Amino acid sequence: AALVVARGRLMQALPAGGVMVAVEATEEEVVPLLSEGVSIAAVNGPTSLVLSGVEHAVLAVTGGLGGRRVKR
C-alpha cells in the first residue's frame, strides 16, 4: 500500500502535457527521429519500444514511423 501511495504522489508531481506511447519499431528506426522533448523510455524487445515526452514531440516521432503500430 505504501508503494501505491508513493507512486501516486510522484505521478501527481509530473508536469502536464507528457505522454508515453508504445511503438512497434527498432531503436535504429526511432533514434534518428528523436528530438528535444522526447526519448526512449523503455526497450521491451527488439521491435517494442516505449517513447516518453511532451505530446507534440512524441507525436512527431510516431508520425515519422509511417504505418507502424502505435498504442497510447
38 vs 8, 20, 33, 60, 70, CA distance in Å?
Answer: 23, 10, 10, 9, 15
Give the model's pLDDT for residue 33.
94
Count Cβ atoms below 10 Å from residue 61 Cβ, excluding itself: 24
C-alpha cell at 28: 535504429
| For residues 9-21, average pLDDT | 77
Asked if 34 and 40 touch (Cβ cutoff 8 Å), the reply is yes
Domains of the chain: 16-71 (3.30.70.250)
Across all residues in the chain, what is the average pLDDT? 88
pLDDT for residue 69: 82
- What's the mean pLDDT in 2-25? 81
The better pLDDT of the pair 11, 52 is held by: 52
